Structure 1
């Protein structure tokens, strides 16, 4: 009985762990498309990320979070990490797109400008196509959008900041 109790506790705790959201369900055999994040390294310590934050309101792994995790403890340098995910094709999907300035060290973010813009985009991916999240961040204009890779054809309308997209000290 003493050995059974820890096993029951472990089983209970394992049941509480959430599995990451998988946009393509297990066993799906239909056509797929992919959506990739992108980034622009402005220096060894400053990067602009353009990424998918959520799919159908489910948070997903993205290049911003992967890069921050991979570069933790590296001081004043950041090596960006890309991310892409597959989606079932020919089915409407709602993406939460985002663009944000990130720095290698948190102290840099506190003392420098950070821009951010985000919003929803609903579209139906076509099988076999690859889409890329693109954007621009700055004092004059901040926007994020989705486009077909290769052709550069935009998907839907860009999500643009109304007014300044510069984050305040407590928003960073």
Structure 2
């Protein structure tokens, strides 16, 4: 009887977690710039390295000036739902003001199916970078993830010049079981 109750409790907890994750994934994001914004802008793009048909290292903006923004991780998750182990990597870019900005950037290993992340290795490094984008220029979030060194940064798309600071982890940036 105790085992049955424990299993039922575990199933309930899993269902509640799944519902919460689904509702979170459906949440709408506040637009970074209003539709009628007429000020100078630049473009900030996310990037990714496909490691297999079901795994990628993603480098993206999580929020800009404290506003959560859509990014390659969530766009790819939405596009890949219902496709099993096939990941459909999405390109994501957004207009940003050509004024001083504070961007939370993330480098993270992502899988097509959540269970693959639980059983696989997930590296992550994140931090905030401040820079002033130049009008009409394009910038890209880039990174590197590995067992002994991980980093994420923003660079000008045309010349590859880094802007702001590089967020680095010397040593392991592997997430623990409960952090995945």
Q: Same fold per TM (> 0.5)?
A: yes
TM-score for the superposition, normalised by structure 2: 0.81
Report the counterpart of residue 94 of structure 2 in structure 1: 85
**Aligned match of 1:75 in 73, 84, 87?**
84
Determine whether 1:37 maps to 2:40. Answer: no
Which residues of 2 match residues 93-104 of structure 1 at below 5 A? Answer: 93-104=101-112
State the superposition RMSD in angstroms: 1.4
1:166 aligns with 2:168: no
Shift, 1:155, TM fit: 0.4
Matched pairs, number: 154
- The answer on 1:21 being equivalent to 2:63 is no
Who is 2:136 aligned against? 128
Structure 2 gaps of 5+ residues are 1-26
Q: What TM-score does the superposition give when structure 1 sets the normalisation length?
A: 0.85
User: Which ranges of 4 or more aligned residues in structure 1 deviate by more than 2 Å?
Assistant: 18-28
SS at match of 1:97: strand
Contact residue 80 and residue 88 of structure 2 kept, 8 A: yes
- Choose between structure 1 and 2: higher helix proportion: 2
